[in-house]
Structures are given as structure tokens and as C-alpha cells.
A = this chain, B = another copy of it.
Amino acid sequence: MEERKNDAVEYILKIGNKIRFDVFRGERRGFPEVVYFEGKSVEECAEIIKKVVDTGEKIIISRIGEDDYIAVKSKVRGIESRYSREGRIASFYSKPYGYVLHGVVAVVSAGTSDVPYCEEAAFVCEEMGCKVLRIYDVGVAAIHRPVDAAAEIKKKNADVAIISAGMDGVLPTIMASMLDIPVIGLPTPVGYGVAKNGIVALQTMLSSCVPGVAVVNVGNGVGAGALACLIVKRINDRVASAK
């Protein structure tokens, strides 16, 4: 990241009257600022992208539907981008970007309805350089499915596992009971009745009788991905200094 414009005056990038972008977040935290699309216009979004990419940073925009992505993209011609329709998340950058984490993140879903949240997390991990191992629809109603999934995660030597579930939120507990790597529970707002909005899934994960399950907010795929990346980053840093 040597060519970053490091002028102290610009350490926060003011964009119009309403936006201040934290360009050095990636450097400081090991994970860049992610822009939440909701509440912004296509024009504001395009302006942020242009200014941020101009500093040399990659920028990730989350919760952006396909139509909005296309509209934004048409306003920032000449800037590279990648988009996940299922994850509703995009990245914009001007050249092969510098985050090259070395690690494997397993991303597991209990049902097919949880997949969008998994894809949001997977996208974030991939943008940071991680390999992602996707294993979907392994709900505990058929206990051999999570058993198989755990075996595959071990075989692929994943460093961390993001396990999503809605409804009863049971899957992270079951998976964690069979794994010796950090497990991140990602509750999803999939369900009805008491399970509506994912709060039951969240609480089940927080109450897990298997100690050591990390939990993030309901539907927070970006947060789950960020946490996985920070763990991989620490592994990379320690491996580097051990050599």
C-alpha cells in the first residue's frame, strides 16, 4: 500500500456535506470501512467510490440490490468491480488490490434460506484474499449432514468456520462440538412465529452449551466475514514473525 496519499489533512475523506470516509481503516484495523448502501443515493455512492478508489483503497458496498449496483457501476466507468447477487454486496477497486490473507474460511448454512447471509460473509472473506469453503443446507434435522460437514472442514484444514442458521439456531452448537477451530455463529432472520427476525437463533447461539462460539448480530454477514478475516490475519502475522 505504499502509494497511499498520506496527507494528514486528508486522513478523513470528506465527500459532500454528509459523508466522511475513513480511508486508513484498512491499515489501522486490517479490515477496510464497508459502506452500508441503505440511506444513500446512487450518486452519493458513486462519488464515494471514485474518491476512495482514487486513494488506492478497495471499497466494499453492502446491502446493495442488483439494480442499484448496475446504476452505480454505470457512473464509475473505468473502475473495476465484483458483485454478488445473492450476497447483495459489491467491491470497487482500480487494480489488483493489496489484501492477500492466506487462510481458509468455511462458510456453512443450516438451510437454503440462509445462503444470502453466507454469501455476504463469503464475499468479504474472498475480497480480503481468503479461500472460502461453502457447505450449504446441513441442518441438524438430519444429524449426518453436520457430521459430514465437520469432516469436510477438517479435511480442507479450514482456519475458522462461519455457521449460519435461522429458526432454532442450533447448527453452530452442533458444529462447534465437533471442531477445534474458532466457530462464528451467524444468526439469520429466517423463521416465523417466535423465531421471526432471528432473535431466537441469536439467543440460542449466545446460550450455546459448547463454550467458545463467537456470535454476531442477526444477518450480519459482513461482521462474520470481518471477524474471520481478523483471525486469519492474526494467524498470518504470527506465521510471518515465526519464520
Contacts of A18 in B (CB 8 A): 109, 112, 115, 136-137
State whether B207 touches A194 (Cβ < 8 A): yes
Q: Which residues of B contact A61 (CB under 8 A)?
A: none
What separation, in Å, do the CA atoms of A178 and B28 have in the docked complex? 7
What sequence of 0s and 1s flags, for each residue 52-69 of chain A, a beta carbon within 8 Å of any chain B beta carbon?
000000000000000000
B195 contacts A217, C-beta separation under 8 Å:
yes
Interface residues of A in 1-49 (CB under 8 A from B): 11-12, 17-20, 22, 25, 28-31, 33-34, 36, 38-40, 44
Q: How many residues of A contact B (CB 8 A)?
A: 103
Verify if A140 is at the interface (C-beta below 8 Å from B): yes
- What 5 additional pairs, Cβ within 8 angstroms, besides A38-B113, A39-B111, A200-B203? A167-B209, A182-B227, A192-B219, A193-B207, A195-B217
Give the shortest distance, in Å, between A51 (CB) and chain B (any CB). Answer: 13
> What are 22 residue pairs bridging A and B, where the CB atoms are less than 8 Å apart in the complex?
A12-B142, A20-B136, A22-B141, A22-B145, A25-B141, A29-B212, A38-B113, A39-B113, A140-B209, A140-B210, A141-B177, A143-B174, A160-B234, A169-B204, A180-B230, A182-B230, A183-B230, A193-B220, A195-B206, A212-B229, A212-B230, A214-B216
Q: Which residues of chain B have C-beta atoms less than 8 A from A200's C-beta?
A: 200, 203-204, 206-207
Which of A104-127 touch B at CB < 8 Å?
109-113, 115
**A169, A183, A194: most-surrounded residue (chain B CB, <10 A):** A194
Contact in complex: B239, A218 (CB < 8 Å): no
Tell me, in angstroms, the Cα distance from A190 to B229 when the chains sit together. 26
A176 neighbours in B (Cβ, 8 Å): 29
User: Chain A: residues with CB nearer than 8 A to chain B?
Assistant: 11-12, 17-20, 22, 25, 28-31, 33-34, 36, 38-40, 44, 109-113, 115, 134, 136-145, 147-148, 159-160, 167-170, 173-174, 176-184, 187, 189-220, 222-223, 225-227, 229-231, 233-235, 238-239, 242-243
Most buried by B among A40, A44, A115, A181: A181
Given A192-B219, A227-B212, check contact A144 B11 (CB 8 Å).
Answer: yes
**Which B residues lie within 8 Å of A28 (CB)?**
177-178, 180
